[in-house]
Structure 1
Amino acid sequence: MNHSQRLAKAQEFIWLHARLLDRYLFAYHFAGGDKKPVLGALRAYQNEDGGFGNALEPDKRCPTSQPQDVETALHVLDDIDAMHDEMVTRACDYLTTITTSEGGVPFALPAVNDYPHAPWWVADENPPASLNPTAALVGLLLKHGIQHPWVETASAFCWQAIEALDSTEFHTLMPVITFLEHASDRTRAEHELERIVSRLLKPGVIELDPHAQGYVQKPLDWAPSPDSFCRRLFTDDIIERHLTAFAERQREDGGWPISWEPISSTVESEWRGRVTIGALRLLEENANVSSQR
């Protein structure tokens, strides 16, 4: 299947199944659409307190603000080069209100327990600060030079937590890498990145079988674009094999599947819309590089 055929099938899936935000994102990335409709749709997920909620991250249906939804919002704004929108300042103000004494924000807040959610979305009554998502939030803000008092406070937490970290867990390390890629202290950041590389290179940490099933993280999860920090860990041959297998995972309905059990058919559709846009962008970015070799 060529690029235009793959895109046409994906477009039909997006129009049939994806939520409004993702339909606008698809139009922005692949049909010459404007970013204004994306911003309007995203704004609907922002609450009065400045945080984001309302199942912007679909696996939990909590309407109140959650740290992970703020991260999702920042990724959307980063993707459309709109990180200087006023939504960001409001979100930083909100993050200040939920920052723990440690200096970071929790993985989730207790309100998540009161609504339908996936099994991993459970929060204690007084949850501690977590690198996921604090490091990702700070990293995205640093990337765009966002000035806010919260950035300094949360950065201090990240440095302390990262220096004590010895994890190979994907959802911990990807936020950490985002932070380290954009931290101003490059000597300190490069030292920690090298420590991460030494852990990731151990046998069995990254799933190298392009056809492996289940919730596993493969090279393209760690390094979706040629500019990704982790791309240095893989040969061109490994990336090409995984790109071929990745493209083949597009289903007959035009969308890409998710690799975990959704809590409802609606949640599955919402996730598949988001994942399908990500898949198309991944293939497009990597095809551009491959064609230049």
Structure 2
Amino acid sequence: MSVSFKTSWMQVRQAVGMDMYTAGRDFVRRDGRVLERRLFATIFEGADPQGVVDALRGYQNADGGFGHGLEPDKRCPDSLPLDVEVAFDTLIAAGTRDEEMIRRAADWLDSVATPDGAVPLCGPAVEGYPRAEHISEWTYQPGINPTAGLVGRLHHLDVAHPWRDRAEAWCAAELEKGFPEDAHGMHEAMEFLEYRKDIDLDRVRDWLPKLQYFRADAADPSYGVTPLQFASTPDSPWRELFTEAQLEAHLDRLIADQQDDGGWAITWEPPGPAATLEYRAVVTLGALRTLKAYNRL
């Protein structure tokens, strides 16, 4: 299976005389937002990460939260926790931090959280704007997704905050009761657990096969979260959950999935053509980052 993935990709790329990295780079430069172009330049070309921070400022609202379609599946300008999460991820990817920017966002999370600290992905404000079909009422419910992931990212950014402490206690209590049932929620939980001292790898490993949307088999063409999204770098504490054969097969599949235009496809429907290109650039940059981390570029 792995050989066929590799062969398919090599034949296509050799035919057009373009290597994987160059094709992906050109896709991001041509079809990505300023944010992804500046992030690409920082990660792959040594550009100053301040450019990434400056690009993020355009998505931050006066209330401290982030909106304006930073996560492209909804075009809502209002601040949403999902967009805050993307902002934190972007800073982490750029290897930088702007403490004032982060603290303002955490203050906003505090202002919209439940008394226990939980926050939802989105809110009813999205209903007034174009959005993907899956951005619906279920995203209005506070939960582990995204609360645990936001807490984990604040730890990664090394920013303490009263909301982080309150939400962390809530997440710890919830995860003690049981893990999420879908792979997206589990990914958020694992972002949180990474910064706990008592990681129980066996408990996580036993739960993975029970998750909805976990795509364990690299040959599975359906939508889902793959081992490479749980362990996006070789030094991830979650790498031990997967065999080398699993990871290699998914790396081969990731390479094979590059499209003729240089970008990677997505398996859902964003709200329009612009959002589709934006998300493809996000996914393309993520694919290149993962392949670079695993020394496959």
* Residue of structure 2 aligned with 1:279, choices 264, 271, 287: 287
1:48-87 alignment to 2 at 5 Å? 48-87=62-101
Paired with 2:32 and 2:266, the residues of 1 have a C-alpha distance of 14
Contact 1:100–1:106 (8 Å) recurs in 2: no
1:163-195 deviation line (CA, Å, top 9, x unaligned) = 122434111111111111113xx23xx24x542
Q: Percent identity?
A: 39
Residues 240/265 of structure 1: CA separation in 2 closer, same or farther (3 Å cut): same
Q: Determine if the alignment matches structure 1 residue 230 to structure 2 residue 238.
A: yes
Residues 102/128 of structure 1: CA separation in 2 closer, same or farther (3 Å cut): farther
Q: Determine if the alignment matches structure 1 residue 120 to structure 2 residue 149.
A: no
1:123-154 deviation line (CA, Å, top 9, x unaligned) = 479x4421111111111112233121111111
- Which residue identity does 1:44 align to in structure 2? G
Residues 204/275 of structure 1: CA separation in 2 closer, same or farther (3 Å cut): closer
Residues 259/124 of structure 1: CA separation in 2 closer, same or farther (3 Å cut): closer
Partner of 1:154: 167
Residues 71/203 of structure 1: CA separation in 2 closer, same or farther (3 Å cut): closer
Deviation at 1:81, TM superposition (A): 2.1
Partner of 1:257: 265
Deviation at 1:257, TM superposition (A): 0.7
- Calculate the TM-score normalised by the size of structure 1: 0.89
Q: Determine if the alignment matches structure 1 residue 210 to structure 2 residue 223.
A: no
Two-structure CA RMSD over aligned residues (Å): 2.2
Deviation at 1:223, TM superposition (A): 2.1
Which runs of no fewer than 5 residues in structure 1 stay unpaired?
none
Q: Determine if the alignment matches structure 1 residue 138 to structure 2 residue 128.
A: no
- Which residue identity does 1:261 align to in structure 2? E
Deviation at 1:203, TM superposition (A): 9.6
More contact order relative to length (CA 8 Å, sep ≥ 6): 2
Which runs of no fewer than 5 residues in structure 2 stay unpaired?
1-9
* Residue of structure 2 aligned with 1:101, choices 115, 120, 134: 115
Q: Determine if the alignment matches structure 1 residue 25 to structure 2 residue 36.
A: no
Paired with 1:172 and 1:287, the residues of 2 have a C-alpha distance of 28
Residues 28/263 of structure 1: CA separation in 2 closer, same or farther (3 Å cut): same
Paired with 2:184 and 2:211, the residues of 1 have a C-alpha distance of 19
Paired with 1:205 and 1:253, the residues of 2 have a C-alpha distance of 27
Partner of 1:165: 178
Q: Determine if the alignment matches structure 1 residue 269 to structure 2 residue 277.
A: yes
Residues 208/177 of structure 1: CA separation in 2 closer, same or farther (3 Å cut): closer
Contact 2:116–2:166 (8 Å) recurs in 1: no
Deviation at 1:43, TM superposition (A): 0.7
Contact 1:112–1:123 (8 Å) recurs in 2: no
Contact 2:147–2:171 (8 Å) recurs in 1: yes
Partner of 2:106: 92
* Residue of structure 2 aligned with 1:242, choices 247, 250, 253: 250
Contact 1:257–1:272 (8 Å) recurs in 2: yes
Paired with 1:245 and 1:10, the residues of 2 have a C-alpha distance of 16
